[in-house]
Amino acid sequence: MYNIPGSVSAPSPTSVGEGRGEGRSAGEGSVTSPASAGEVARSAGEGSGVKAARTVAEVMAQSQAGSVLDELDRELVGLAPVKARIRDIAALLVIDRLRMNQGLQAQTPSLHMSFTGNPGTGKTTVALRMAQILHRLGYIRKGHLIAVTRDDLVGQYVGHTAPKTREVLKKAMGGVLFIDEAYYLYRPDNERDYGQEAIEILMQVMENNRDDLVVILAGYGDRMETFFQSNPGMRSRIAHHLEFPDFAETELLRISEMMLTQQNYRFGPGARDVFEQYIHQRIRQPQFANARSVRNALDRARLRQASRLFASPDKELTVEDLTTIEPADIRASRVFGSPSPQSPSPQPSPTGVGEGAEPSPPPSPAEAGEGVYKE
Amino acid sequence: MMTNPTGRLTQGQFSFLPDLTDAEIALQIEYGLKKGYAWSIEYTDDPHPRNTYWEMFGNPMFDLNDAAGVMLELKSCRGTFPNHYIRLVAFDSTRGVETIVMSFIVNRPPTESGFGLVRQEVNGRSMRYTIRGYEADRAEGERYKK
């Protein structure tokens, strides 16, 4: 998926920086028409200044960053502060490119980031987009994303951690290193924990190889806060701290519609309203994981829809039938379990396609609050 | 200087050219990565032509996307062995190939003494010839030091 951009057009390198420029322009070339690819290659070669971009629009057109930003706006619901920050970063990189074309010195900004937010607020999704955007803007050379957790960085015995961390870092070079649940790296309760070693190597590379990779740390807000407090060096090396807000109910509803559309489903008459009620109730229950909960709820609705259709084997099924989620499919959820009077606690179909995997039959309210809503 | 006309070791690719700059090395690495090769770094202070297997510096680097990773490792190898020969080796894992496909020297000791011809008289007037590095008399790790 993440192809290395097309062949190097004119191998006459004098500096790493120029080689980088060529890689970038060749990548763009493969997207645009061949004619303009040559033009881009010329203008990207620094110093030549023959056809160097002089306006923001030209840079945006060359890099196609605009389309990624628009896509971001279209496909990611909500997240206004995050989008604003990404636009700022994109603007800075575009202006830096213009400055470079004018012969002004442009120091590469530090773009390491930390994403904090509750579960399911889109941290990973945005990180993936980030890799694309930064690649289009020519900040990183390859635009791939390596997602790791503690296990991939920290070793199990003395001397195991450093090579492991370095290997991951080497793989991430030219792209984005996404460290999920970064706070697990640091275990304050065990002072001989090897996580600290990984953090030190990480910080060193973040500082020395700023041009080569972008590190994104992600995790839940409060725990990231303690992580940064115990590693002040890490905090200062990260320029961008992005807070991912929780989704509002209307946003969640829009997300659910987009998810369904992507999978070629749609809400049947009335189903949208029922799902709105579902979100309204689910959001107040424990362990609500924003978009992830919505996705799981939809997955379960699909299961119920499937078994509903399955139950009438002789019926000829139209496209309509196959793609429609009926209100009943959603209302069968245990979220509606006790309070909703409309459907008296629908027996979650004998096949066992119910809410979760729990076999516990009609759950007592206490139970319902606990384990069942894990997903 | 009959045995060492260029005053340089000529093994592997590009060895008759002036030393590659780091940017040029990075381009070669990039080329290899594009072809799907796995790079590794090897070093030695015994560059006898029959010494095929140099010491490995770290593991071979699979699944890299960018030359910067190899350059990072090369930098640390140069720091550790500034007076050794260091070469980059690209391994092609394609089934049926499975061998080294690129190899070039990226670090040389400041002075390269080369090899001497050793003559041995055997069976009357017969001669046997072999070559021996001038530095080979010194212990491993002590060679090529000023």
Q: Give me A233's structure tokens.
A: 């060096």
For the CA atoms of A321, A327, A328, A331, the dihedral, rounded to the nearest 10 degrees, stands at 150
Instruction: Indicate the pLDDT class of residue B54, thresholds 50, 70 and 90.
Output: very high
pLDDT over 90 percentage in chain B: 75
Instruction: Give the per-residue pLDDT at A51.
Output: 63
Instruction: Give the per-residue pLDDT at B91.
Output: 96
Residue A111's φ and ψ, nearest 5 degrees, are -115, 20
Taking only the tens place, the pLDDT of each residue in A45-74 is: 444 444 677 788 887 777 777 787 888 888
Spatial contact of A127 and A145, defined as CB atoms under 8 Å apart: yes
Question: Rounded CA gap, A25 and A6, in Å?
Answer: 9
Instruction: Give the per-residue pLDDT at B60.
Output: 92
Task: Write the residue in B23, B30, B63 that is nearest to A15 by C-beta.
Answer: B23
Task: Write the residue in A11, A167, A173 that is nearest to B27 by C-beta.
Answer: A11
Best mutation target, A24, A135, A152, A173, to test chain B (most B CBs within 10 A):
A173
Instruction: Give the per-residue pLDDT at B122.
Output: 93
List C-alpha distances in Å: A226 to A28, A114, A178, A344.
Answer: 41, 13, 19, 46
Instruction: Give the per-residue pLDDT at B121.
Output: 93
Question: Rounded CA gap, A143 and A117, in Å?
Answer: 24
Question: Rounded CA gap, A25 and A59, in Å?
Answer: 12
What is the least distance, in Å, from the CA of B32 to any CA of chain A? 12
Question: Rounded CA gap, B146 and B142, in Å?
Answer: 10
Taking only the tens place, the pLDDT of each residue in B84-114 is: 999 999 999 999 999 999 999 999 999 888 8
Instruction: Give the per-residue pLDDT at A136.
Output: 83
Angle between helices A56-63 and A65-75 (to 10 degrees): 80
Question: Rounded CA gap, B46 and B44, in Å?
Answer: 5
Best mutation target, B65, B70, B73, B75, to test chain A (most A CBs within 10 A):
B65
Task: Write the residue in B24, B59, B69 that is nearest to A173 by C-beta.
Answer: B69
Task: Report residues of chain A scoring pLDDT below 50.
Answer: 1-50, 339-375
Instruction: Give the per-residue pLDDT at A192.
Output: 83
Question: Rounded CA gap, A116 and B4, in Å?
Answer: 62
Taking only the tens place, the pLDDT of each residue in B62-89 is: 999 999 999 999 999 999 999 999 999 9
Instruction: Give me chain B's average pLDDT, please.
Output: 91
DSSP per-residue codes, B75-126: HHHHHH-TTSEEEEEEEE--TTT-EEEEEEEEE--SS---EEEEEEEETTTE
Q: Is the pTM here over 0.90, yes or no?
A: no
Instruction: Give the per-residue pLDDT at B2.
Output: 57
